[in-house]
Structure 1
Amino acid sequence: MPKRWYDDACGTALALELVGERWSLLIVRELMYGPRRFGEIKAALPGISANVLTQRLESLEEAAILLRRKLPPPANVQVYDLTAWGCESEPAIMALGKWATRSPLHDPTSYMSGASLMMSMRTLLVPGRMGDLAFTLGLRLGADHFTATIGGEDIVVARGMAEAPDVTIEAETAFPILAVLYGKLPPEAIEAEGGLRIGGERDLAARFAGLFELPAKIA
């Protein structure tokens, strides 16, 4: 790295030097489930300037956390993608996020990007609740599309909509989905207000909604 913040051999200190600058870790989160163009990353991170995003992308590339590449025709555009080592940061980001949600300062009604929503599902999945549940979920959040493969006590996420998912969930913002998954509101009530659309096998969708739980707040 071109600069060192800490005179400390601890790996945690080095981790902060790699991704501790403002926005860096959130950029990594946005790239966790597939490559993104510059404008797509910026749109997913309200408040970041183009100049700061450019600086952070350059720093993360220098640190071998991400790389730039060009998609083949017909797309033929430059994208940013995590390296294999960069992808290995997901468990650490998930653990940090789960720890922070126990704070009274955590507001589950705030803005969440598509990648953040998908990571929250992977993070807040309650062990043992899935049982024999196994299906493919296609989720659209605004302009973002994801495929989630549910089964074996895990949720595997990739960008892009599955061709024939068993269940589809569509919303313009994350709030109605969060209200169902973590607020435990009936999906029908949210659908009636027009903020959520669920298609496919609704019994699977109902079982899916019961898989998640926010951790208890600290006293």
Structure 2
Amino acid sequence: MSPRRSYDQYCSTARALDAVGDRWTLLIVRELLAGPRRYTDLHADLPGVSTDVLASRLKDMERDQLATRRRLPPPGAAYVYELTPRGAELLPVIQALGAWGAPALAERRPTDAVRAHWFALPLLRALPGEGLLEVRLDEGEFHLRLGAGSGPAYGDGPAPEEPDARLALDAETCTALEEGVLTLPQALAEGRLVISGDSTLAKTLRGE
């Protein structure tokens, strides 16, 4: 394991960057906010990272008590990585960075990779209420838990149980909602967002 690099500054920002300032670390946190992930799944959803760098960052995160590695019981019997409570506290940091970087998403570059679940955290920040949502984009499906006090903030694929509401929209609408340049009523009125379901959450999101 490589020795910790430090800014050697008695400053909380510098101390935080000692732990999460390396390239790829916060994106690994973004992926682990979905819950336990296998190394191969992390590598698949972090296009561009080398196997050596990913392994090194995960070891650093274990050392800094941001993540842990454990073996799943049979029949899975695979090793997974997951965030510690301290690592999970980075959720608002990731959301704040996403909000700050959203204006840079004005145009998707031909070389840009994309995964549907990368839009989960922006929506988690932009949508009110509490409950389980299933979201469909052109790029795929994911689910997220609004108002979840603990546990995974989101997950790839359909909801593991009957969701409180289902949303259908596109990536551009997600970004506009996160930036605040588009409101939920506007997105609904313009047909850019469809919300289905009869739960309290679905009605709240529709403004009923």
User: Taking structure 1 as the reference length, what is the TM-score of the superposition?
Assistant: 0.67
Mapping of residues 127-206 of structure 1, within 5 Å: 130=128, 136-139=132-135, 145-149=142-146, 157-159=153-155, 161-169=159-167, 177-183=170-176, 200-201=196-197
SS in 2 for 1:81: strand
SS in 1 for 2:70: strand
Q: In structure 1, what is the equivalent of residue 8 of structure 2?
A: 7
Partner deviation per Cα, 1:2-50 (whole Å, 9 max, x = no partner): 2333121111111111111111110011101301011111111111111
How many residue pairs are counted as aligned between the two chains? 187
- Give the C-alpha shift of residue 67 in structure 1: 0.6
SS in 2 for 1:67: strand
- Give the C-alpha shift of residue 140 in structure 1: 5.9
Which is further off, 179-188 or 8-17? 179-188
> Larger helix proportion, structure 1 or 2?
2
- Name the CA distance, whole Å, in 1 between partners of 2:72 and 2:142: 18
Which is further off, 15-24 or 1-10? 1-10
What residue ranges of structure 1 are gaps of 5+ in the alignment?
171-175, 192-197, 211-219
- Give the C-alpha shift of residue 166 in structure 1: 3.4
1:76 is aligned to 2:74: no
- Name the CA distance, whole Å, in 1 between partners of 2:39 and 2:18: 23
Change (3 A) 1:107 1:45: farther
- Give the C-alpha shift of residue 80 in structure 1: 0.4
SS in 2 for 1:101: helix
- Give the C-alpha shift of residue 136 in structure 1: 3.1
Partner deviation per Cα, 1:104-160 (whole Å, 9 max, x = no partner): x444645443443111112334xxxx4xx6653123676764343469xxxx83437
- Name the CA distance, whole Å, in 1 between partners of 2:206 and 2:60: 38
- Contact 2:65–2:87, Cα closer than 8 Å, also in 1: yes
What residue ranges of structure 2 are gaps of 5+ in the alignment?
177-181
- Name the CA distance, whole Å, in 1 between partners of 2:37 and 2:174: 26
Change (3 A) 1:149 1:90: closer
Change (3 A) 1:124 1:150: same
Mapping of residues 47-86 of structure 1, within 5 Å: 47-86=48-87
- Name the CA distance, whole Å, in 2 between partners of 1:116 and 1:85: 21
- Name the CA distance, whole Å, in 1 between partners of 2:136 and 2:101: 26
Q: In structure 2, what is the equivalent of residue 194 of structure 1?
A: none
Partner deviation per Cα, 1:68-109 (whole Å, 9 max, x = no partner): 01112222211000011111111122222222334xx44464
Change (3 A) 1:55 1:150: closer
- Contact 1:138–1:162, Cα closer than 8 Å, also in 2: no
Which is further off, 81-90 or 158-167? 158-167
- Name the CA distance, whole Å, in 1 between partners of 2:20 and 2:40: 21
User: Taking structure 2 as the reference length, what is the TM-score of the superposition?
Assistant: 0.70
Change (3 A) 1:82 1:136: closer
| Aligned partner (choices 124, 127, 130) of residue 126 of structure 2 | 124
- Name the CA distance, whole Å, in 1 between partners of 2:13 and 2:64: 15
Q: Percent identity among equivalent residues?
A: 34
Q: Give the superposed CA RMSD.
A: 3.6
